[in-house]
């Protein structure tokens, strides 16, 4: 690598790291304020609050990487343009394509870092953060696996295959034990709906009863039996679980790893469940690290002209706004893809494709001038 290439790469990397640290500090501050509101609920303490925020930092870094690349690149390139260093590079024979190629090399470092975080540290730390928070506040022990969410609720172990945003459950299985850790019954329900005050209405219930029914505390049963299967169209289920707890326990698809998403998608597909949200998240996982390259390409036309200090500030503000719009479009297209049943590939690729098209158009316009 030539001297001027090393110099440009160093300026870009330092600026992007500086912006990333600033954004991370800002988000951590707001997360801390939000987390401290839960201090005093259950056993949740100040130590739990700071540990929760710390464990969420890898996921925050993954989310903020493209925005940091855009703002950092804008800042570095605008400073180089203000000191006429970009003009010198162009006058020495460096073409726009060569400059863009060098920018992509720097962005590639952050794209690989985002891919590494998104597949290794971020899913693990996000899961650990949610487990610590849930156990401290609600005194509920839970883990999420390919088979769904597993929760220990008093003397019962509950398996929930899927949960929707409108407080509905799909594929509920309850293993109820007595005080001597003997299995009393296994209950399977096709679905569940939250009624309020700790009550759920389960539908399509199949209950396999083992042992004495007096220990089961179920409605409309009083005789004793050793083992039998009972079917009911619906029944009431009292539980400490609530939609708020379940929404916290269920790790969002965007925070899962590629392998985890792939396995869960296959599980839902094999059980003929709706997989749109997880397919979109799977494609987004593949495309999101490449967003750093798109943001770098978008920064080049913004910083191509000679700027004074006021121009640099304006460009940084424009970069922040573009980054916010990109983040919002990512969430918007994901939601629209699920609601409108768009192809998952198109829903995940659309924001990056639109911004890449905008970057190419702006570069062409700058070159034409």
Q: What is the tens place of the pLDDT at every residue in 80-101?
A: 877 778 778 777 777 888 888 8
According to the model, what pLDDT value does residue 218 have? 47
Residues 224 and 257 in one domain: no
**Cβ neighbours around 25 below 10 Å, total:** 9
Residue with tokens 């899962």: 256
Q: Is the alpha carbon torsion for 303, 305, 307, 311 positive or negative? A: negative
Residues 110 and 166 in one domain: no
Residues 85 and 221 in one domain: no
Residues 123 and 262 in one domain: yes
According to the model, what pLDDT value does residue 246 have? 74
Residues 270 and 336 in one domain: yes
Distance CA 366, CA 96 (A): 10
Give the CA distances from residue 79 to residues 15, 76, 107, 310, 355, in Å, rounded to whole numbers and listed in that order: 10, 5, 18, 11, 23
Residue 156 and residue 175 in contact, taking contact as beta carbons nearer than 8 Å: yes
> Over 50: is that where the pLDDT of 216 sits?
no
Residues 11 and 80 in one domain: yes
Residues 27 and 111 in one domain: yes
> Over 80: is that where the pLDDT of 204 sits?
yes
Choose the final residue of a domain: 239, 268, 289.
239
Distance CA 267, CA 169 (A): 16
Residues 220 and 284 in one domain: no
Extract the tokens encoding 80.
Answer: 């180089």
Q: Could you tell me if residue 245 is inside a domain?
A: no
Q: Could you tell me if residue 149 is inside a domain?
A: no
In which order are the strands placed within the sheet that holds 183-196? 141-145, 148-153, 156-163, 168-177, 183-196, 199-210, 227-238
Total number of domains in the chain: 2
Per the prediction, the chain carries an average pLDDT of: 83
pLDDT band at 219 (very low <50, low <70, confident <90, very high): very low
Please give the residue that has the higher pLDDT: either 258 or 308.
258
According to the model, what pLDDT value does residue 278 have? 84
Choose the final residue of a domain: 189, 218, 239.
239
Residues 113 and 256 in one domain: yes
Choose the final residue of a domain: 198, 214, 239.
239
- Its domain, for residue 208, covers 155-239
User: Which of the listed ranges 138-142, 305-309, 360-364 does the model predict with the highest average pLDDT?
Assistant: 360-364
Q: Could you tell me if residue 214 is inside a domain?
A: yes
Cross-strand partners of 149:
144, 160
Rounded (10°) angle between helices 96-119 and 57-82:
170
Residues 165 and 109 in one domain: no
Q: Is the alpha carbon torsion for 76, 77, 81, 87 positive or negative? A: positive
Residues 67 and 9 in one domain: yes
According to the model, what pLDDT value does residue 312 have? 64
Residues 31 and 94 in one domain: yes
> Over 70: is that where the pLDDT of 121 sits?
yes
> What is the CA angle 289-3-312, rounded to 5?
60
Q: Could you tell me if residue 139 is inside a domain?
A: no
């Amino acid at each position: 690598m030539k001297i001027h290439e090393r110099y440009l790469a160093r300026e870009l990397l330092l600026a992007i790291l500086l912006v990333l640290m600033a954004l991370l500090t800002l988000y951590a501050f707001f997360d801390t304020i939000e987390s401290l509101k839960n201090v005093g609920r259950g056993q949740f303490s100040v130590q739990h609050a700071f540990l929760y925020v710390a464990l969420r930092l890898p996921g925050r870094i993954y989310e903020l990487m493209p925005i940091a690349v855009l703002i950092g690149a804008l800042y570095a390139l605008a400073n180089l343009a203000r000191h006429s260093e970009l003009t010198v590079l162009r006058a020495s024979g460096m073409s726009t394509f060569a400059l863009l190629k060098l920018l992509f090399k720097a962005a590639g470092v952050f794209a690989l870092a985002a891919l590494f975080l998104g597949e290794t540290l971020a899913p693990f730390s996000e899961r650990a953060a949610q487990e610590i928070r849930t156990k401290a506040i609600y005194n509920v022990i839970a883990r999420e696996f390919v088979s769904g969410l597993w929760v220990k609720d008093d003397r019962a172990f509950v398996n929930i295959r899927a949960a929707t945003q409108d407080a509905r459950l799909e594929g509920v299985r309850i293993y109820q034990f007595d005080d001597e850790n003997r299995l009393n019954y296994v209950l399977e329900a096709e679905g569940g709906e939250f009624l309020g005050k700790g009550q759920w209405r389960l539908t399509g219930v199949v209950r396999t009863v083992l042992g004495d029914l007096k220990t089961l505390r179920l409605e409309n049963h009083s005789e004793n039996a050793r083992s039998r299967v009972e079917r009911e169209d619906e029944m009431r289920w009292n539980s400490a679980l609530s939609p708020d707890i379940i929404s916290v326990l269920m790790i969002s698809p965007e925070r899962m790893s590629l392998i985890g998403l792939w396995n869960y998608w296959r599980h839902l597909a094999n059980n003929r469940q709706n997989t749109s949200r997880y397919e979109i998240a799977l494609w987004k996982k593949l495309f999101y690290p490449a967003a750093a390259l798109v943001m770098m390409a978008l920064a080049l036309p913004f910083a191509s002209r000679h700027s004074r200090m006021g121009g640099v500030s304006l460009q940084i503000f424009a970069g922040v706004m573009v980054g916010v719009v990109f983040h919002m479009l990512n969430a918007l297209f994901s939601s629209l893809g699920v609601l409108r049943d768009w192809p998952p590939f198109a829903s995940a690729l659309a924001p990056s494709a639109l911004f890449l098209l905008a970057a190419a158009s702006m570069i062409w316009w700058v070159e034409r001038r």
